[in-house]
Amino acid sequence: MIDQPRQRHLMTFAYTVSVILVAGYTFWLYSMGNYHDLLVPMFVTLLLLTALLMHHSQALNPVVPRAILLSSSYVITLAAFYHNPSTSTIWIGLPTAAAFFLLPLSSALLLTVLSSPLWWLLTRHSDAASETVIAYTALILLMALPPWEHARQRALLRATDPNDNDCNAYHIDTLKERLHNEFLRAAMLNKRLAVLVMHLPQLDMAEEQFGSRAKTALLGALCNEVNSRCRDHDLLGRADNATFWLVLPDTSESGAMLVRERLQRALCQRVLVETGQLETRIAVCLPCRNESFERYISRLEARANALSIA
Residues 9 to 68 in contact with other proteins, rule: CB under 8 A: 10-11, 13-14, 17-18, 21, 25, 28
CB of 291 to other proteins, least distance (A): 18
By CB under 8 A, what part of segment 227-256 binds other proteins? 231-233, 249-250
CB of 96 to other proteins, least distance (A): 7
Antiparallel, parallel or unpaired: β 281-285 and 193-199: antiparallel
Beta-carbon contacts of residue 16 (< 8 Å; ≥ 6 apart): 52
Assess 124 for contact with other proteins (CB under 8 A): no
Q: Which CB, 1 or 288, lies closer to other proteins?
A: 1
By CB under 8 A, what part of segment 251-310 binds other proteins? none
Which range, of 183-191, 202-210, 287-295, 296-304, touches other proteins by CB under 8 A? 183-191
Closest by Cα among 38, 46, 39 to 18: 46
Residues 209/289, Cβ–Cβ less than 8 Å = no
Which range, of 36-44, 53-61, 185-193, 220-228, touches other proteins by CB under 8 A? 185-193
Q: Which CB, 7 or 298, lies closer to other proteins?
A: 7
| Integer Rg of the chain from CA | 29
Which range, of 129-137, 236-244, 267-275, 302-310, touches other proteins by CB under 8 A? 129-137
Total number of residues binding other proteins (CB under 8 A)?
A: 71
Assess 191 for contact with other proteins (CB under 8 A): yes
Select the residue interacting with other proteins from 90, 273, 288, 309 (CB under 8 A).
Answer: 90
Antiparallel, parallel or unpaired: β 276-277 and 271-272: antiparallel
Strand partners, 194: 248
Assess 149 for contact with other proteins (CB under 8 A): yes
Assess 143 for contact with other proteins (CB under 8 A): yes
Is the Cα dihedral 49, 51, 52, 54 positive or negative?
Answer: positive
What Cα–Cα distance (Å) separates residue 262 from each residue in 49, 255, 283? 57, 11, 13
Assess 110 for contact with other proteins (CB under 8 A): no
Residues 147/203, Cβ–Cβ less than 8 Å = no
Q: Which CB, 137 or 298, lies closer to other proteins?
A: 137
Distance CA 301, CA 310 (A): 14
The 8-class DSSP code of residue 90 comes to: G
Q: Which CB, 69 or 304, lies closer to other proteins?
A: 69
Helices (H), the chain: 5-32, 39-56, 63-83, 93-102, 105-114, 116-123, 129-143, 145-160, 172-188, 203-210, 212-229, 253-268, 293-309
CB of 23 to other proteins, least distance (A): 12
**At residue 259, what is the residue type?**
V
Q: Helix 129-143 and helix 105-114: axis angle, to 10°?
A: 170
Select the residue interacting with other proteins from 63, 110, 141, 302 (CB under 8 A).
Answer: 141
Select the residue interacting with other proteins from 33, 58, 61, 188 (CB under 8 A).
Answer: 188
Select the residue interacting with other proteins from 57, 61, 86, 160 (CB under 8 A).
Answer: 160
Select the residue interacting with other proteins from 42, 97, 172, 283 (CB under 8 A).
Answer: 97
